[in-house]
Structure 1
């Protein structure tokens, strides 16, 4: 199925975030009444995002036969903090969610470094064959990246407008991660494991 529909995995990966963004743009200046309760456009977009992420995660599992620990952790935090934002009608919980996700990832990778485990290789090793030293360097860099992204998310949601945070969450954090992965291209080459011919 994946080979016949190569576009499906990226749609499942990024679809929920784009749905959140579009719903927010459509309703950001509106009040949506559901079940006798008034919600802001942001809370309504969160309400739409949660089931979209659940369906997307189940779709990825059906498509690939597996779901990574990071995807499961993200889903759980979205359910908890998105659910709190809806239940308490308070957007702050959902805005804190990326901070907690990035701190969790940094903590896991930091613990892996201390315990001398190569967990990043377990997750990405098949797609990116590298020697152990390369994985250690990448793990250090990713740990620092996740810490920086957690701090940056806190700064943006606490000091800037809601719309700015939505743009930052949808495009800024994704772009930072993309640039980071590209910036490490030399590391991938220097520590690549040559395939036997």
Structure 2
């Protein structure tokens, strides 16, 4: 359910872009992300770090877009976010005893340490690819194409990437409600 809710700001961004322009869409995105942070905090008294970081990067780069009336800043928001994710994942290979993906609480997935490292590296490389792809699209295609790639392309890529893991990870899935053997 949270994954669907996380799409709301992107959908609102797309609708505002279609109805108005990139500047209106940017303002809508900033407000939507900040509202999501506030709602999450009111519901749980906690805010996920990734959600907060995304909202702050959008507020800064989106704010610069609105202040200078220059779309270049918001065009590079996905690159900043994906690049930060990639660096955090890669950094966790040398900092600490567990990689970042392994530190996320898991109920249904039990992997050996070496497999966690491979999974973590795969996601880091995926986010690096997305960061570079965003730069390529932003610099070589129209704003309208970039908006479609940002909203639908990256969402689709992430879904395909996650689904591609199923054959490899399914044997490590456990039922947390099953009685212990």
Alpha-carbon separation, structure 2, partners of 1:142 and 1:44: 32
What does residue range 106-117 of structure 1 map to in structure 2 within 5 Å? 106-115=86-95, 116-117=97-98
1:21 corresponds, among 2, 7, 14, to: 14
Report if aligned partners of 2:65, 2:72 keep a CA contact under 8 Å in 1: yes
Residues 77, 101 of structure 1: 8 Å contact kept: yes
Asked whether the equivalents of residues 130 and 193 of structure 1 are also in contact (C-alpha less than 8 Å), the reply is no
Provide closer, same or farther for how the CA distance between residues 76 and 23 of structure 1 changes in structure 2, counting only shifts above 3 A.
same
1:64 positional shift: 4.1
The offset of 1:127, in angstroms, is 5.2
Equivalent runs, 1:47-196 vs 2, <5 Å: 47-115=27-95, 116-126=97-107, 128-192=109-173, 196=180
User: Greater strand percent: which structure?
Assistant: 1
Q: Does the CA contact (< 8 Å) of 1:131 and 1:191 recur in 2?
A: no
Which secondary structure does the structure 1 equivalent of 2:98 belong to? coil
Closer, same or farther: CA 128–111 of 1 in aligned 2, 3 Å: same
Unaligned stretches of 5+ in structure 2? Answer: none
Deviates more, 1:79-88 or 1:121-130: 121-130
Q: Which moved more, 1:176-185 or 1:126-135?
A: 126-135
Taking the aligned partners of 2:166 and 2:44, their CA distance within structure 1 comes to: 26
- Could you tell me how far 1:11 is from its partner in structure 2? 5.2
CA distance in 2, matches of 1:24, 1:81: 17
CA-atom RMSD, angstroms? Answer: 1.9
Distance, in Å, in 2 between the alignment partners of 1:135 and 1:193 is 16
1:25-49 deviations in Å (ceiling 9; x for gaps): 011xxxxxxxxxxxxx101110121
Using the size of structure 1 for normalisation, the TM-score is: 0.82
What count of residue pairs does the alignment treat as equivalent? 177
For residues 194 and 55 of structure 1, what CA distance do their matches in structure 2 show? Answer: 34
Unaligned 5+ runs, structure 1: 1-6, 28-40
